[in-house]
Structure 1
Amino acid sequence: MSRRRLSRRGWLAGAALSVLGASGCASQTAALRAGAAVGLPRRAELEQVPFFPQSGPNLCGPETLATVLQAEGFAQTPADLVPLVYLPGRHGSLQVEMLAAARRCGAVAVRLPASLHALCEEIAGGRAAVVLQNLGLSVAPLWHYAVAVGYDLDEGWMVLRSGAQRRQRLAMRTFEHTWARSQYWAFVTVAPGRLPRTASEDEIVRAMLAFERVASPEAAVRAYAAAQTRWPDNLTLAMGLGNSLYAAGRKTDAARAFEAAARAHASAAAWVNLGVVALDLGQPQRALAAAREALALGGPWAEQARALLDRVQASQP
């Protein structure tokens, strides 16, 4: 298909099935094969990952997304996903739609680092990843989604679920060339409560915030709790956990989460949230103390802290 680059929304990917050309260097491949893959097995392949042969032009998006979702325990089929990700007028699937559809299916969609090492590490850890390739030339792109399921550093191969091929062996150098043209775009899907091995803290925060907007409160609680276990000092994750606990009706747990965040981060926002929850729990003295702590910190939450203090005082006999 012809190239369509859309401002702020990414590329469209269709149904290119063969590599038409590769150019440039493959520096990540060279580094990995030369011994930079510290702690990485020399070979790994996820043979049990399902395969959906491409059933029509430009349908690589639904089929690759169904592959990684089913590998993670979700039941969606390509047919289920076509209306969520395939754009008939554009003859393909946008990256943003792929991520959003995974979340609507109940999975946390997480972008991976732009790193061949990270991609191989996810595979070695048992998780397949959707990758975006340009299988054409820079002047005549053919965008295509595939699922990376294996690698062999000694032989120099990547193994993909791609198009009509269940087990496409592609030279690692060639794969890197085709993947680099999408700026190494790749993502994994995980069930709430699980985390990818390699995703950065910032990327996890972005993924959790996006997931929370469409997930059930209990699913969001599981997702945030797992992320906070790995990054216990992240205020955004702590606040997300508290908000999700509150939305799930677990107000005592939410108050505990907000108080921990408030004390650990001297966060006026967390103190205000704690005060609101404490009022809901019938704990006016705790709410009063939280409002005063928030006021003492000042800053952009001062107005909310003053409103909370007035509310607490008005509730007193």
Structure 2
Amino acid sequence: MQEQHAAILHWARRFTLWAAVLLLSGCGTMVPQTLALRTDWPAGVPRQAELVHVPFFPQDEYQCGPAALATVMHTAGARVSPASLVDEVWLPARQGSLQLEMLAAPRKHGLVSLRLAPRYADLLREVAAGNPVVVLQDVGPLLPQWHYAVVNGFDYETGTILLRSGLQARQEMPFTYFERTWIAGRYWAMVVTPPERIPATATEERWLEALLGLARGGNADATVRGYRTALARWPESLPAAVGLANQLHAGGALDEAARVLRGALQRHPQSVIVLNNLAQTLSDQGRNAEALTLIRRAEDPQSPFAGEVRATRQLIEERLRTGS
């Protein structure tokens, strides 16, 4: 009986605490995702987590973007400082950093930057998985004042989010108040990981989209590693196989590119893009007779890739005629 009474008292205290937080932070309808967490806590996520190993870089005036990025990039393995990132993300005319620059900067250092879905649950999942999360907040009391901080922990029992923010190495903020600052930026958040580690909430589509950004950043080796990781996670993924083969081909690794494409062809024997790319790769290896057989299989006037297939066949036939 005493144990039952203690359990009831425990839940009553927690409900009272959450209710008090809601009242103090304003109308509950302003924090819909916090309210949802009270009855639908994400499955598999612990009630408490804190990434104490995440470094802290005090933020100079207006330069919260470089400091927040340095925090998550350092955690992902890049030894950078806020000062080294200023020129990459800091826009003097705006006295701040735009989200595009925040996403682009890690890619230049061989890291994958992934924008999260605008869900509180996804933020919690990433932190629980060991990934600190950069968030965009409006912390202005009256007028908008945009600010980047890093979420590195949470505590369900007390309804507290933990952040590296400004000059505070461990800022504690109620779930509700945090959401009110976060919702103004449409729940914008991002994580940064090395190419070998896919974030906890990343889908195949979102990871491959992030790899396209990494490729645009110019780090070919990191992009190849990211596609290898994708193919290991999603072995049936046609876009992952094609992306990896394209990167290998561009880097001159024709034998490996051909192996990847042959594996994709076994899984997707009717894929026009795989047939075309494998034929191109074989032709580049000087195996034009084999390439011609493959490209004939790819011919389909109704295919959106019909023009590419036609151009590849013309190239192969020209090489056969000239012996090149």
Query: Is residue 2:40 matched to residue 1:32?
Result: no
Query: Is residue 2:172 matched to residue 1:161?
Result: no
- For 1:234 and 1:183, the matched residues in 2 are separated by 31
Query: Is the CA contact 2:125–2:200 (under 8 Å) kept in the aligned structure 1?
Result: yes
Partner of 1:7: none
Of all paired residues, the percent bearing the same amino acid is 42
Q: 2:297 aligns with which of 293, 308, 316?
A: 293
Partner of 1:6: none
Partner of 1:142: 145
> What TM-score comes out, normalization by structure 1 length?
0.87
Partner of 2:256: 253
What's the CA shift string for 1:65-115, capped at 9, x where partnerless? Answer: 000000111011100000000000111100000111111121110011111
- For 2:316 and 2:91, the matched residues in 1 are separated by 52
Deviates more, 1:213-222 or 1:101-110: 213-222
Partner of 1:313: 317
Q: 2:241 aligns with which of 213, 238, 242?
A: 238
Partner of 2:178: 175
Query: Is residue 2:67 matched to residue 1:48?
Result: no
- For 1:125 and 1:297, the matched residues in 2 are separated by 48
1:305, distance to aligned residue in structure 2 (A): 1.8
Query: Is the CA contact 1:113–1:200 (under 8 Å) kept in the aligned structure 2?
Result: no
Partner of 2:110: 106
Partner of 1:93: 97
Higher RCO structure (Cα 8 Å, ≥6 apart): 1
Query: Is the CA contact 1:33–1:156 (under 8 Å) kept in the aligned structure 2?
Result: no
- One-letter amino acid matched to 1:39: G
- One-letter amino acid matched to 2:191: V
- For 2:298 and 2:26, the matched residues in 1 are separated by 58
- One-letter amino acid matched to 1:256: R
- For 2:311 and 2:130, the matched residues in 1 are separated by 50
Q: 1:152 aligns with which of 145, 149, 155?
A: 155
Query: Is the CA contact 1:111–1:186 (under 8 Å) kept in the aligned structure 2?
Result: yes
Give the alignment's Cα RMSD to 1 decimal.
1.9
- For 2:315 and 2:94, the matched residues in 1 are separated by 53
1:216, distance to aligned residue in structure 2 (A): 2.8
Count residues with an aligned counterpart: 295
Partner of 2:220: 217
1:228, distance to aligned residue in structure 2 (A): 2.4
1:282, distance to aligned residue in structure 2 (A): 2.3
Partner of 1:204: 207
Query: Is the CA contact 2:295–2:313 (under 8 Å) kept in the aligned structure 1?
Result: yes
Query: Is the CA contact 1:22–1:178 (under 8 Å) kept in the aligned structure 2?
Result: no
Query: Is the CA contact 2:45–2:128 (under 8 Å) kept in the aligned structure 1?
Result: yes
> What TM-score comes out, normalization by structure 2 length?
0.85
1:27, distance to aligned residue in structure 2 (A): 2.5
- Structure 1 segments, 4+ long, off by >6 Å, are none
1:280, distance to aligned residue in structure 2 (A): 1.8
- One-letter amino acid matched to 1:70: H
- One-letter amino acid matched to 1:250: A
Partner of 2:137: 133
